[in-house]
Structure 1
């Protein structure tokens, strides 16, 4: 399966989840992204994944990602990259083992793909 095929299937499944599809960026999130730039937002996503998701064991797993406060947090819930259990279920990465750099880069790419789709969706509403 190619990356494009995997992403298409993943985002279709996420869109079909009532919970995952309920997350959207608010105007203040988009303003923040526009102010900081996508490169900075990507760096924030890398930092959040490295600190909150990559370790083999996370003391507060399932509660480490807030539901608001940063566009990446919203994207993590929308893309099921918010905790190791969701990452296991949706992205097939087993808990109890530190995430490799390739796995971390993949999760960041999924988050940034969702953010880009949200921004483009907002532009079409104007």
Structure 2
């Protein structure tokens, strides 16, 4: 898979007081180390497909917990937590199902944040 240039996005996210307050706690880091990045990526795809990709999400804006899995933290840190944030930060409109390419993009953003956190 080609590496996306997400520099501008991560710069903008770092300037947000809300987005920049998220980080992986020791328990989250341990989970990533134990499960491995491939498994965490599969989890990210599952969460995106189930909670973010449908055209209509009954509890949009509240479907992503603030803790409990490293992907959830990453979604809040990267503004991929709900369709409103996807529109505001990534210009992906609500009201239509995410395409496979859009889902790939969202997972790449999530995993890039997790990789950066694991290095830092």
TM-score of the pair, normalised by structure 1:
0.92
Task: Name segments (4+ residues, structure 1) moved above 2 Å.
Answer: none
Correspondence list, 1:111-126, <5 A: 111-121=110-120
Task: Compute the displacement of 1:105 (Å).
Answer: 0.4
Structure 1 CA distance, aligned partners of 2:94 and 2:111?
22
In 2, the alpha carbon distance for the partners of 1:54 and 1:73 equals 15
Q: Distance in 1 between matches of 2:73 and 2:7?
A: 20
Q: CA RMSD in A?
A: 0.5
Map of 2:55 onto structure 1: 56
Q: Distance in 1 between matches of 2:56 and 2:90?
A: 17
Deviation of residue 115 (structure 1)?
A: 0.2
Aligned residue number for residue 35 of structure 2:
36
Quick one: distance in 2 between partners of 1:120 and 1:32? Answer: 15
* Number of the residue aligned with 1:103: 102
Rounded to whole Å, the distance in 2 between the matches of 1:57 and 1:91 is: 18
- In structure 2, what is the equivalent of residue 11 of structure 1? 10
Aligned position for 1:47: 46
**Cα shift at 1:42:** 0.1
Question: Offset at 1:61?
Answer: 0.2
Larger gyration radius, structure 1 or structure 2 = 1
Can you list the C-alpha shifts for 1:107-126, whole angstroms capped at 9, x where unaligned? 000000000000000xxxxx
Deviation sequence 1:61-96 (CA, Å, 0-9, x none): 000000000000000000000000000000100000
Number of equivalenced pairs: 117
**Displacement, 1:26?**
0.1
Q: Is there any run of 5+ residues in structure 2 with no aligned partner, and where?
A: none
Structure 1 alignment gaps of length 5 or more: 122-126
Q: Counting helix residues as a fraction of each chain, which structure ranks higher?
A: 1
Aligned match of 1:84: 83
